[in-house]
């Protein structure tokens, strides 16, 4: 199969991107893949993440309705287009402004969109109930796995009360 970009060399890099239910398949030779920012991580060359992200995002860009690409963060002024070009976000609020795109992107990068790690310590009032909620959710999951349904029901009730408070 020949590379779809140059049409000359044999395609050795095969990529499948699924964006919003649309499949995009790329068959490229080594050189054209590198030109697009895809490099073989097995070569031990450090993955140029910003470029890789930017190229993945620009593919997304061309397939998204215009209004989404005009999103601008109200806190720092970064537009989604800026982000696709640099691969870097402007501030914490960008994550909220571009939430659905970030969901997609983070799923692609990490295989997940839900943080399962540490919560900040001392931002007490705001964080505590959120931490509690997360803790109870994990306990509920465990209780169900262990088929301790009585315990699960108790935890579920605790969660209901807590969610009302948040």
Partner 1 sequence: MDAKISGIMFEEMAKKPAVWLSGEGVNSQVVLSSRVRLARNIANTPFPARSDSDVKERIISFVKTAVEKSPELSRGTFLSCSQLDDLDRSFLVERHLVSVEFTACHDFSALLIGEEENVSVMVNEEDHLRIQALVSGLEIREAFRLADHVDDELSKSLQFAFDSSFGYLTSCPTNTGTGMRASVLIHLPGLALTREIEKVISQISKLGLVVRGFYGEGSDVWGNLFQVSNQTTLGRSEEDIVESLERVTQQIIEYEENARKRLFNEAKDQIEDKIWRAYGILRYARALTSEEVLNMLSAIRLGMGMGVITTVSLSQINEVLALSQPAHLQKYFKKRMEPGERDRVRAELVRSKLGD
Q: Where does this chain bind partner 1 (CB under 8 A)?
A: 41-47, 49-50, 53, 75-76, 78, 86-93, 95-96, 102, 105-106, 109-123, 127, 130, 134
Compute the least distance from the CB of residue 134 to partner 1, in Å. 7
Compute the least distance from the CB of residue 88 to partner 1, in Å. 5
Kindly tell me which of 5 and 82 has the beta carbon lying closer to partner 1: 82
The DSSP secondary-structure symbol of 42 reads G
Compute the least distance from the CB of residue 149 to partner 1, in Å. 26
Kindly tell me which of 87 and 158 has the beta carbon lying closer to partner 1: 87
* DSSP assignment of 46-69: PP-HHHHHHHHHHHHHHHS-HHHH
Kindly tell me which of 62 and 114 has the beta carbon lying closer to partner 1: 114
Kindly tell me which of 64 and 102 has the beta carbon lying closer to partner 1: 102
Phi-psi region of 51 (alpha: psi -120 to 50; beta: other; left: phi over 0): alpha
Phi-psi region of 118 (alpha: psi -120 to 50; beta: other; left: phi over 0): beta
Compute the least distance from the CB of residue 87 to partner 1, in Å. 7
Number of helices (H) and strands (E), helices first, in the chain?
Answer: 8, 2
Token pair of 2 as six digits: 């020949």
Compute the least distance from the CB of residue 150 to partner 1, in Å. 27
Kindly tell me which of 21 and 43 has the beta carbon lying closer to partner 1: 43
**Residue 79: which of 91, 69, 66 has the closest Cα?**
69
The DSSP secondary-structure symbol of 28 reads E
Instruction: Enumerate residues 6+ apart whose C-beta is below 8 A from 32.
Output: 3, 5, 6, 9
């Amino acid at each position: 199969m020949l590379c779809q970009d140059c049409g000359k060399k044999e395609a050795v890099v095969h990529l499948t991107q699924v964006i919003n239910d649309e499949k995009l398949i790329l068959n490229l030779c080594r050189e054209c893949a590198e030109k697009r920012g895809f490099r073989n991580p097995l070569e031990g060359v450090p993955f140029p993440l910003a470029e890789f992200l930017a190229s993945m995002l620009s593919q997304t860009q061309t397939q998204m309705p215009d209004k989404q690409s005009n999103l601008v963060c109200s806190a720092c002024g970064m537009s989604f287009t800026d982000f696709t070009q640099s691969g870097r976000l402007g501030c914490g609020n960008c994550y909220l402004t571009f939430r659905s795109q970030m969901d997609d992107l983070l799923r692609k990068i990490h295989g997940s969109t839900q943080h399962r790690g540490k919560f900040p310590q001392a931002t007490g009032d705001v964080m505590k109930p959120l931490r509690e909620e997360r803790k109870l959710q994990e306990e509920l999951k465990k209780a169900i796995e262990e088929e301790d349904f009585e315990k699960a029901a108790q935890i579920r009730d605790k969660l209901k009360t807590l969610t009302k408070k948040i």
